[in-house]
Amino acid sequence: AQSVTQPDIHITVSEGASLELRCNYSYGATPYLFWYVQSPGQGLQLLLKYFSGDTLVQGIKGFEAEFKRSQSSFNLRKPSVHWSDAAEYFCAVGGKNSGGSNYKLTFGKGTLLTVNP
Amino acid sequence: EPEVTQTPSHQVTQMGQEVILRCVPISNHLYFYWYRQILGQKVEFLVSFYNNEISEKSEIFDDQFSVERPDGSNFTLKIRSTKLEDSAMYFCASLDYYGYTFGSGTRLTVV
């Protein structure tokens, strides 16, 4: 069964500091990996995704993530955080099931990011 | 940029009533999904729909739930007799080669 672990429930950083949000996954084959951001009461906005190829992927808003197969990780990074980055961040894993007709996503529990001025 | 549209954005219903949540996926996508997020919790998979039939459903998706794609455009989630614990944000999503696109969600409040 596929699963995602986001070990940090809440992270606080100062504006301008660097950020790393951790994500570990369990998946039986090559995974598709995603990071989404959600502001309070809002929908899910895709930050970036990994399907194949270069293991360092660039996303929107200056975010990047690195797929490390040996560590089953897909950590999200940003070199300099802005106050507007305060939100909840979800990592998700998906892919074809054995029947080949489904790509359901399994989400982690999320990491809430607070940015101090 | 193509969007997944969900209506209504917020619905309040009495316990035991039927509700229909509506979604218009991106027109050339082939896979469609409903996910649910109870307040303060993670997003959970409910059901996937492909080739006009359910391809997978979670244990949450019991006999009270059903999905339809009645006209090739809309994709609906029906809850036959709502319970208090059905209160959540419901997200519709559609999928193509480039990935998922989520709608902005319908917040369902059961009172």
- Please give the DSSP secondary-structure letter assigned to residue B70: T
Contact B56 A104 (CB under 8 A): yes
How far apart, in whole angstroms, are the C-alpha atoms of residue A90 and residue A32? 14
What average pLDDT does chain B have? 92
B103 within some domain: no
Nearest CB to B42 within list A41, A104, A108: A108
For the cut 70, the answer to whether the pLDDT of residue A99 exceeds it is: no
- In this prediction, residue B95 carries a pLDDT of 87
What is the per-residue pLDDT across A10-32, written as a single tens digit (0 to 9) for each? 999 999 999 999 999 998 777 88
Q: How confident is the model at residue A94 (pLDDT cuts 50, 70, 90)?
A: confident
How far apart, in whole angstroms, are the C-alpha atoms of residue A69 and residue A47? 20
Q: Is the distance from CB of A50 to CB of A98 less than 8 angstroms?
A: no
Q: How confident is the model at residue A9 (pLDDT cuts 50, 70, 90)?
A: very high
Q: How confident is the model at residue B100 (pLDDT cuts 50, 70, 90)?
A: confident
- In this prediction, residue A76 carries a pLDDT of 98
- Please give the DSSP secondary-structure letter assigned to residue A31: P
Task: Identify the CA nearest to B92 among candidates B45, B53, B49, B35.
Answer: B35
B39 within some domain: yes
Residue B42 to chain A, least CA–CA distance (Å): 5
What average pLDDT does chain A have? 91
Walk me through the domains of chain A, giving residue ranges and CATH numbers: 3-116 (2.60.40.10)
Q: What is the average per-residue pLDDT within A80-102?
A: 83
How far apart, in whole angstroms, are the C-alpha atoms of residue A23 and residue A91? 6
- Which of A37, A42, A101 would best serve as a mutation to test chain B binding (most B beta carbons within 10 A)? A101
- In this prediction, residue A97 carries a pLDDT of 59
Domain count, chain B: 1
Q: What is the average per-residue pLDDT within B21-26?
A: 94
- In this prediction, residue A101 carries a pLDDT of 52
Q: What is the average per-residue pLDDT within B76-85?
A: 96
Collapsed DSSP state (helix, strand, coil) of residue B64: coil
What is the per-residue pLDDT across B25-45, written as a single tens digit (0 to 9) for each? 988 888 999 999 998 889 999
The residue range of the domain holding B83 is 16-96
Residue B85, domain CATH: 2.60.40.10
- In this prediction, residue B52 carries a pLDDT of 87
Instruction: Give kind and range of the element (H or E) at residue B82.
Output: none
- Which of A34, A37, A104, A111 would best serve as a mutation to test chain B binding (most B beta carbons within 10 A)? A104
pLDDT cut 70: percent of chain B above it: 99
Task: Identify the CA nearest to B29 among candidates B46, B7, B4.
Answer: B4
B11 within some domain: no
- In this prediction, residue A82 carries a pLDDT of 96
What is the per-residue pLDDT across A33-61, written as a single tens digit (0 to 9) for each? 999 999 987 888 999 999 888 999 999 99
- In this prediction, residue A19 carries a pLDDT of 97
Within 10 Å of residue A66's Cβ, how many Cβ atoms?
A: 16
Instruction: Give kind and range of the element (H or E) at residue B29.
Output: none
B2 within some domain: no
B110 within some domain: no
B24 within some domain: yes
B38 within some domain: yes
Contact A107 B55 (CB under 8 A): no
- In this prediction, residue B49 carries a pLDDT of 92
Residues, chain B? 111
B9 within some domain: no
